[in-house]
Amino acid sequence: MINKKINKNDLIACLFFLLLGIWVVYQTEEFTFLGSVFPKVVAYVMIACSILYVLISYFFGWDKVSSLRGSTVKRFLIYLVIVAWAISINYLGFLISSLVFYFLSLLISGGDDLTVKKAFLYMVYGGFFIAVMYFIFVNVLSVPLPNSKLF
């Protein structure tokens, strides 16, 4: 049976890619001929596919919207931690940012059964792991991990 109920996710996504394609075509006007050919072709294909997808969905039925399972708050928080970790590494330095955000992500991913004792124990493991990796990267692999700019 054809699903006539519009999948808003698909519609929004196709609209986004349609606009992205138009923006790319607009941007290519500033490029040289050789620099613009490829992005322009790709953008036209993207625009065509987006329109075609909506038309096909309209006439042949839409995909059903899949529901999210699990905690949305946790999703948001853990991604926030990842972004903050990525940004802060330049300011706090590798060691401090790793220890701080490792602990925060441990708290978020721990769930209800994470007791204070377990959290402490895991943090000790984590701290040891970070220290070992720091030593390997800096002294064995000669990767200069960033130092703090603030302290």
Interactions with other proteins, residue window 6-35 (CB under 8 A): 9-10, 12-14, 17, 20-21, 24, 27, 30-32, 34-35
Contacts with other proteins by CB under 8 A: the residue count is 78
By CB under 8 A, name the one of 37, 132, 135, 147 that touches other proteins. 37
121-148: b (≥16 Cβ within 10 Å) or e? ebeeebeeeeeeeeeeeeeeeeeeeeee
If the CB atoms of residues 96 and 133 are measured against other proteins, the closer one turns out to be 133
Minimum gap (Å) between residue 6 Cβ and other proteins: 14
| Amino acid identity, position 59 | F
Q: How many CA atoms lie within 13 A of 49 on its CB side?
A: 12
Length of the chain: 151
If the CB atoms of residues 6 and 45 are measured against other proteins, the closer one turns out to be 45
Task: Establish if 40 lies at the interface with other proteins (CB under 8 A).
Answer: no
- Interface of this chain with other proteins, residues 83 to 112, rule: CB under 8 A: 83, 85-87, 89-90, 94, 98, 101-103, 105-106, 108-111
Which residues have CB under 8 Å from 57's CB, separation 6+?
Answer: 7, 10, 63
